[in-house]
């Protein structure tokens, strides 16, 4: 089973008068065995959180994605530049779900892209390491207001991870095709505009040449003389 939470931290940070952004999904496995599946099936935009050097839940933040209909500003969030309010929600949730860490103040929470997690065959169930960088958050103490707000949104459900992966890949493929089609149409329109501009320049140049021929020295009479001179030369 997977536990899902909805963070409204971004809406609170923007203030009451701002247009409310959609809630951001946080999720975690109910036990260490479910954590194994989450490590395997985490999405590319997911960010992983864990209490440093202590046992805790594996909490994942699912960053908004344009393939799922997120607005451009929300989809532009990156794991290494997350809003402080959202980081605080993730840190409080992972601290609250650490038996030892929940009782301590001034602990550290580590986070990294889920794609950066490294799992080898000799590791214990639920244990991971990292391929490269990770970041660290300092958590001074438990914030009950934050934890309670998140717990009120908690939903527990069984997840078919493989089917979710297939559905996600389909959505991403559809979104990629839409972007490619939009770029192709934009390129075709630009090519049409450039062709029309070139044709307009060519017509303008042709009109200029015609005007010079008709209004130049000798004009039509000069053209007739030139033709007659050529015939005389031929004779």
Distance CA 37, CA 130 (A): 17
C-alpha torsion sign, points 222, 226, 229, 235 = negative
Indicate whether 127 pLDDT > 50: yes
pLDDT recorded at residue 69: 56
- Interval 158-213: pLDDT, tens: 999 899 889 888 888 888 888 888 898 988 888 888 888 888 877 777 766 666 66
pLDDT digits (tens, 9 = 90+) for 68-109: 555 555 556 888 889 999 999 999 999 999 999 999 999 999
Cβ atoms of 74 and 21 within 8 Å: the answer is yes
Q: Which residues of 182-192 are buried (b: 16+ CB within 10 A; e: fewer)?
A: eeeeeeeeeee
Q: Is the pTM of this model over 0.85?
A: no
How far apart (Å, rounded) are the C-alpha atoms in residues 109 and 90?
9
Q: How far apart are CA 146 and CA 217, in angstroms?
A: 90
- Please state the rounded mean pLDDT for residues 122-127: 88
Q: Is 60 exceeded by the pLDDT of residue 230?
A: no
Average pLDDT estimate for 51-62: 95
pLDDT confidence of residue 133: 76
- Residue 12 class from Cβ within 10 Å (0-12 exposed, 13-18 middle, 19+ buried)? middle
- Split at pLDDT 50, 70, 90, the class of 25 is very high
pLDDT tens digit string along 61-75? Answer: 999 876 555 555 555
pLDDT of residue 149: 96
Residues in the chain, total: 235
Residue 227: per-residue pLDDT: 46
Contacts of 130 (CB under 8 A, 6+ apart): 112, 116, 117, 118
Instruction: Produce one character per residue of 50-65: b if its CB has 16 or more CB atoms within 10 Å, e if not.
Output: bbeebebbbbbbbbbb
CA separation for the pair 208, 185 (Å, rounded):
35
pLDDT at 36 over 50: yes
């Amino acid at each position: 089973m997977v536990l899902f939470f909805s963070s409204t931290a971004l809406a609170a940070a923007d203030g009451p008068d701002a247009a409310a952004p959609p809630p951001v999904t946080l999720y975690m496995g109910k036990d260490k065995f479910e954590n194994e599946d989450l490590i395997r099936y985490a999405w590319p935009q997911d960010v992983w959180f864990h209490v440093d050097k202590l046992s805790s839940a594996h909490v994942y933040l699912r960053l908004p994605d344009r393939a799922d209909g997120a607005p451009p500003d929300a989809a532009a969030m990156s794991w290494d530049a997350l809003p402080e309010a959202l980081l605080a929600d993730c840190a409080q949730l992972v601290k609250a779900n650490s038996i030892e860490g929940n009782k301590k103040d001034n602990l550290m929470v580590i986070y990294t892209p889920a794609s950066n997690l490294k799992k080898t065959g000799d590791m214990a169930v639920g244990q991971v390491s990292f391929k490269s960088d990770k970041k660290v958050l300092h958590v001074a103490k438990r914030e009950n207001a934050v934890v309670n707000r998140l717990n009120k949104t908690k939903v527990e459900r069984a997840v078919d991870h493989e089917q979710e992966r297939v559905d996600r890949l389909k959505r991403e493929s559809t979104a990629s095709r839409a972007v490619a089609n939009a770029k192709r149409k934009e390129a075709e329109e630009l090519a049409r505009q450039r062709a029309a501009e070139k044709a307009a320049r060519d017509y303008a140049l042709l009109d200029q040449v015609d005007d010079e021929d008709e209004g130049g020295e000798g004009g039509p009479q000069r053209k007739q003389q030139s033709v007659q001179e050529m015939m005389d030369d031929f004779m």
